[in-house]
Structure 1
C-alpha cells in the first residue's frame, strides 16, 4: 500500500492522523508468545518500544513521500511524526490532504516561514515578560516608598513622645524603642534597595534579550539582509520622514531572472549562493536613505528616499548591469551558471494613496519587465510597456540563468 491509501491509516499518533504510512506489524495482530525450552525472551521496555515506533514512523514518512534521507529531512520528519512542532504538523497535514506532493523545497520553505513566525512569537513573549518585569519593578518601588514613609512616621512619633517626657526611666525606655525602630527601618530599607537593584538588573537583561530577539527575527539568515517584516517597519518610518522633509521616495521590486532554472540545473545549494551574490550586490546600495531587504524567494525590495523615479531607476540599472556583467561559476561542478540578471519594477510612492498601492504598482512594473524580456528596469505608471527600458530586448535572454 502507498502512503496515501486510507486503508493503511492508524488512529493513534501524528503519522496516523496524517495517513503517512501502513500500520505497524505489531498493530495488525497480537504477537504470539515467544518461548524457548530454556528461557523466555526479555520483554521490550515501554521506552524502547516508543523509540522504535518513532523510528518506524520517521522511516514511513520519508519513504512514503519519496524524500531523501538527510539531517534536515530527518529533523523535519521527527517534528512531524512526534508532534513536536504542531504548526508544522498542521501545515503538512493540509498539504497532504490537498493531494500535492511533499518535496524538500516545500518543506524547507515552510520550515523557514515557520521559524520566522516563531521568531515573532518569541518577541511577543519577551515583550510580555518585559512588561511584567516593569510592572513588578513599579510595585517594588511603590512598596519601598510606602515602607519608608511608614518608618519615618513611626520614627517621628517616637521623637515627639521623647520630647514630651521628663528625663527618667521612661525616657530611657523611649530612647531604646526609638533605636530599635530606627534599626528595623534601616534593615528593611536596605532589603528594599537590594530588591530594587535586582529588579533593575532583570529589566535591563530583558531589554537586551528583547533587542537581540528583535534583530534575530528581522534578519533573513540566508542572505543577511533584513526580511519582509523588518522592511515593512522601515517603509512606514521612511514614508513619514519623506513627507516631513518633502523628499521623493521610491520603492522597487527586484526579481532574479529564471531562478528556477538555476535550482533545477545546479541544485538548491548553488541557487542559495546565487541568492547571496545578488543580495550582496544590492546591499551595497544601502545607506541611511536606501534600504534593501529580501521580500521572499528570489525577490528583493528596495526603498530609496531622496531619489526621484528616474534617479531610482538609474541606480538600480547600474547594479543590474554590474550583476549581469559577472560570469559566475558553480564551484562544486566548475560549471558556468550563465548570465545572472534581475528584472525590476520601480514606483514613486508619493504618486499612490498608500504604501500598499505603491508596492502593488512596483510589482506590476516588475511583471511588465519580465514580459518585456527580463534583465531590465521599468518604472510604474508609464504608457509604454517597455517603460524605463534600460537595455534593448535581448534575443539571447532565453539562455539567462
Structure 2
C-alpha cells in the first residue's frame, strides 16, 4: 500500500504533536528530544518508527477518521506489517466507491475483538494444561503414597493374624486394620481413575491445540502456527547465521473462479494450490495458509533469489495444468498464483520483512499476475 506524505498538512502536524513528535526541516517527523547525530549515521529503527507514525496520521486525516484507540490499533496493524491481509483490505476499500469510513472501521474493529476473544481462549487453554499437569503430578504422588501405606497395613495385618494367643485387643486391631486396608485400596482405585481421566483430558486438550493450528480446509498449518514457527526460525537463523526468506502467494482472479463455479469448486482450487506449494516444502521450507486465498512460506537457507526460483518452478507447473470441475465437467481454465519474496534479515524485524513480501506480491498483481517479484 502506498501512503502519501503530507508534511505540510496542519491536521497531520497536530496529530504528530499529540503523539509526541514534530516535523524537522526536511518534513520528516522528529522527536522533540532528538539531537543531530554527529557522525551523520542513519538510525533505521528510529526512522521506521517516524515513518509509521506519519503513515498512521495521514491515513486517519485523509479519511476523516476518529483518533480513537480502536482506529489507532487497526492502522498500526496495517501499516506496521503485522497484518498484511488487513493492509490489502484497506487498500482495496480505499480504491472502491464506498471508500474507508468510520462505520467500516468499526466493523473491522469488531472482527479484531473476535480475534482477541480467541487469544483469551488460547491463554485459558494454556492455563488449563498447566493445571492438569500439576494435578496429574500431585495425584500420581498421592497414589504412590496410598499404595505404600496399603502395603504396610497389609504386612502388619498378616503379622497380627499369625499371633494366636494375643486376646481380644489384637483381634480388634486386626479387624480395624482390615477396614483401613479396604478403604485405602478404594482410595487408590479412585486416584487411579482420576489419573486416567486427567491423562485423557490432556490428550483431548493436545488434540484441540493441534486443531487450532491447522487450517481445516487445506490441512496446512494456519497463520497462528506459522507465526510461532517464524519466530523460532528467525531466532535460530540469527544465531548461526543462515539465510532466511519469506514469501506471500495469492491465487490470481480467485473471486472470478468462485463466481463462475461456486464456493465448493473454489475450495477445491484452494486445495490444489495448497498441494502445489506443499510439494516443494520440506524441513527447510514451510508453507501455511495465511487466510482467504493467500499462503505464506518460509525458506530456511535460501536467499530471496533462490526462494523465488523455487516458487517460480511451482508456479509454472501449475500454469501448465488444465483443471476441470469434476462435478460439472466444466474447465476452470488456467489457474495461476502470484508471489512476493523478501529477505528476513534485510529489514528491521520479521514484521517489516513480511510487509515487504506482501508489497512485492502486490506489485506482481499490478504487473499482470502469474509472476514472482522480489522485494
TM-score, length-normalised on structure 1?
A: 0.56
2:236 to 225, 238, 241: 241
1:193 to 188, 191, 195: 188
Please give the alpha-carbon distance, in whole angstroms, between the structure 2 residues aligned to 1:177 and 1:252. Answer: 80
1:359, CA displacement in angstroms? 0.9
| 1:351-371 CA-partner distances (Å, limit 9, x unpaired) | 223221221111111112222
1:371 to 344, 366, 369: 366
Residue number in structure 2 paired with 1:210: 205
| 1:288-323 CA-partner distances (Å, limit 9, x unpaired) | 221111111111001111222221111111001111
Please give the alpha-carbon distance, in whole angstroms, between the structure 1 residues aligned to 2:314 and 2:326. Answer: 23
1:123, CA displacement in angstroms? 5.9
Please give the alpha-carbon distance, in whole angstroms, between the structure 1 residues aligned to 2:225 and 2:198. Answer: 25
- Kindly tell me the number of residue pairs found equivalent between the two proteins: 266
Residue number in structure 2 paired with 1:283: 278
| 1:195-234 CA-partner distances (Å, limit 9, x unpaired) | 3311221121112111221222222222222211121122
CA contact (8 A) 1:126 1:206 kept: no
1:354 to 331, 339, 349: 349
Please give the alpha-carbon distance, in whole angstroms, between the structure 2 residues aligned to 1:293 and 1:346. Answer: 15
Matches within 5 A, 1:198-347: 198-347=193-342
CA contact (8 A) 1:119 1:217 kept: no
| 1:166-197 CA-partner distances (Å, limit 9, x unpaired) | x999x645533553454344334323321331
DSSP 3-state at the match of 2:333: coil
1:154, CA displacement in angstroms? 10
DSSP 3-state at the match of 1:370: helix
Matches within 5 A, 1:75-114: 98=103
| 1:231-257 CA-partner distances (Å, limit 9, x unpaired) | 112222222333344322111000111
**Bigger RCO (CA 8 Å, 6+ sep):** 2
Deviates more, 1:181-190 or 1:223-232: 181-190
Please give the alpha-carbon distance, in whole angstroms, between the structure 2 residues aligned to 1:151 and 1:267. Answer: 68
CA contact (8 A) 2:150 2:181 kept: no
DSSP 3-state at the match of 1:337: strand
CA contact (8 A) 2:341 2:361 kept: yes
- With over 3 angstroms needed to count, the CA separation of the structure-2 counterparts of 1:135 and 1:177, relative to structure 1, is farther
Residue number in structure 2 paired with 1:65: none
CA contact (8 A) 2:251 2:336 kept: yes
| 1:87-129 CA-partner distances (Å, limit 9, x unpaired) | xxxxxxxxxx9599xxxxxxxxx8xx97x99987776665554
DSSP 3-state at the match of 1:326: coil
TM-score, length-normalised on structure 2?
A: 0.59
Please give the alpha-carbon distance, in whole angstroms, between the structure 2 residues aligned to 1:99 and 1:239. Answer: 35
CA contact (8 A) 1:313 1:379 kept: yes
Deviates more, 1:141-150 or 1:286-295: 141-150
Please give the alpha-carbon distance, in whole angstroms, between the structure 2 residues aligned to 1:198 and 1:376. Answer: 59
Gap runs ≥5 in structure 2: 1-101, 106-110
Please give the alpha-carbon distance, in whole angstroms, between the structure 1 residues aligned to 2:318 and 2:295. Answer: 14
Provide the alpha-carbon RMSD of the alignment. Answer: 3.9
CA contact (8 A) 2:343 2:353 kept: yes
CA contact (8 A) 1:320 1:341 kept: yes
Residue number in structure 1 paired with 2:54: none
